[in-house]
A = this chain, B = another copy of it.
Amino acid sequence: MDHISEIFDLAIVGGRCLTLDPEYSEISDSLILIRNGQISWLGERKDYRGRYQAARTLQASGKLIMPALINAHTHLSLSLYRGLGTDLKLHNWLRRVIWPLEKKFCTPDNVYLGSCLSLLEMIKSGTGTLADMNFFANYAAKAVDESGLRGFIGEALFSTPTPSIQDPQDGFNVTADLVNRYKGHPLIHPYIVLHAPFTCSDQLYKEATEHAKSWGIKVCSHVAETITEVDQIRERYQLTPFEWLDSLGALNPDFIAIHAVHLTDHDKKILAERNVGVIHNPHSNMMLGSGICPVPELAALGIRVGLGTDSASSNNSLSMLFELQTAAKLHKMSSLDPSILPARQVLNMATSVNADILGLKGVTGHLAAGFSADLILIDPSSPNMIPLHDAYAQIVYSMENSNIESLVVAGRLIMEKRKILTMDEELILKEVNNWMKASSVYDKY
């Protein structure tokens, strides 16, 4: 009788594995063995010594396997407003559409419902980890927890009342509640979220810096997204937004700057010196006519630049694939140099660089033994992917969401053959449609 030397939760057998590790090593016919959410072993199938038994086996022959994507900036609940206010500038879009809509419709139930909707779309486009900015963030956390994805969750703080916080003094208590509630949770990571320099006071940024340090968590904020913002901050403080934040002591490796579109040379120097993480959201910046974050220049200065989608209201998609493709092309175009941001570099941005910025280095972002089993299976057999001369180029420039067949996060099968296993897709879509009909939102904004 055979001796079963090892027992695993999940075995992924066969397939070409693009590990995206720093050397981009590939495994041509791979075996991935998963236990307790982690990759216990991965390598060429033929190299595995001994025998194994797995509670569950996924056959992956003919597929590509790569790390699940990380979306380092979004607003989960805003997918309820997808398509409303398209073609308005950021400040008008916020003041005329998003903020009035939020005033009316931003309730715990709607944050939960919108988050569920967004999570469906993210799962179907291969996202395993996301970083959110929301009101009633505990309801976004609930949805993310149910989805099985890994989420950075933060209550959006302003210096003025918000739909969820009447007294701005309460902001850090709300965040502290989140921190306490999810202490030790393997996949829900609370962090501090400040809306932007034009809506948050110096006091807020200073306190955020202290709390983040004492709680051991990250801080994120929109910074330098539009010329309007930069002008406002210059008028108010005679400093650029980043100079102002630096003068408050707010910038450090745990600070995540969303957008960073309009930068002076001095700003870039500050970002490099403070080792701030920057999240580039090309679709949203294009859609709102905000401008272009100088990604190649920042990367050349050693600044970590990751990728996010921003919300479905300013994108209007939550697919990281569109973001990968556009990031690569946008910067080739703006520099008139097609060698800028090659496929592998943008794939890094959406995986290992995002992981590093979010504090998940060594946890996720590439596939290796000891890492969380966060991965996608890709079916490359459709006309858009053939012939597969260069898998990396094809994933970035040619792949569609429908090529993503399955998603595993922390060893749990979240989607299998396009069917979401952790959430009731049909029910959620029905509830969103019911909400839309009942609210007549389109007539009201």
Interface positions of A (Cβ within 8 A of B) = 80-84, 86-90, 93, 117, 120-121, 124, 227, 283, 285-292, 312, 315-319, 322, 325-326, 329-330, 332-333, 335-340, 342-343, 381-384, 386-390, 393-394, 397-398, 400-402, 425, 428-429, 432-433, 435-436, 441-442
Contacts and interface: CB of A to CB of B under 8 A. Distances in A.
Nearest to A399: B317
B289 A338 contact: yes
Contacts of A290: 333, 336
Given A121-B383, A319-B384, A289 B340 contact: yes
Contacts of A283: 329
B317 A398 contact: yes
A336 B226 CA distance: 9
Closest 8 CB pairs of A and B: A286-B329, A120-B383, A286-B333, A83-B390, A402-B402, A316-B397, A289-B338, A83-B393
Given A386-B432, A386-B433, A289 B336 contact: yes
B389 A333 contact: no
Contacts of A285: 333
Contacts of A389: 81-84, 436, 441-442
Contacts of A387: 80, 82-83, 432-433, 435-436, 441
A332 B386 CA distance: 32
A83 B291 CA distance: 29
A381 to B, nearest CB: 7
A442 B148 CA distance: 40
Nearest to A394: B83
A146 to B, nearest CB: 15
5 contacts: A80-B387, A283-B329, A286-B333, A316-B394, A402-B402
B86 A397 contact: yes
A186 to B, nearest CB: 25
A137 to B, nearest CB: 21
A291 B333 contact: yes
Contacts of A292: 333
Nearest to A332: B289
Given A283-B329, A336-B291, A398-B317, A83 B388 contact: yes
Contacts of A329: 283, 286-287, 326
B340 A390 contact: no
A393 B316 contact: yes
A53 B277 CA distance: 64
A401 B398 contact: no
A218 to B, nearest CB: 28
Given A290-B336, A337-B289, A389-B436, A382 B124 contact: yes
B381 A429 contact: yes
A124 B384 contact: yes
Nearest to A385: B82
B332 A117 contact: no
A86 B393 contact: yes
Contacts of A86: 338, 342-343, 390, 393, 397
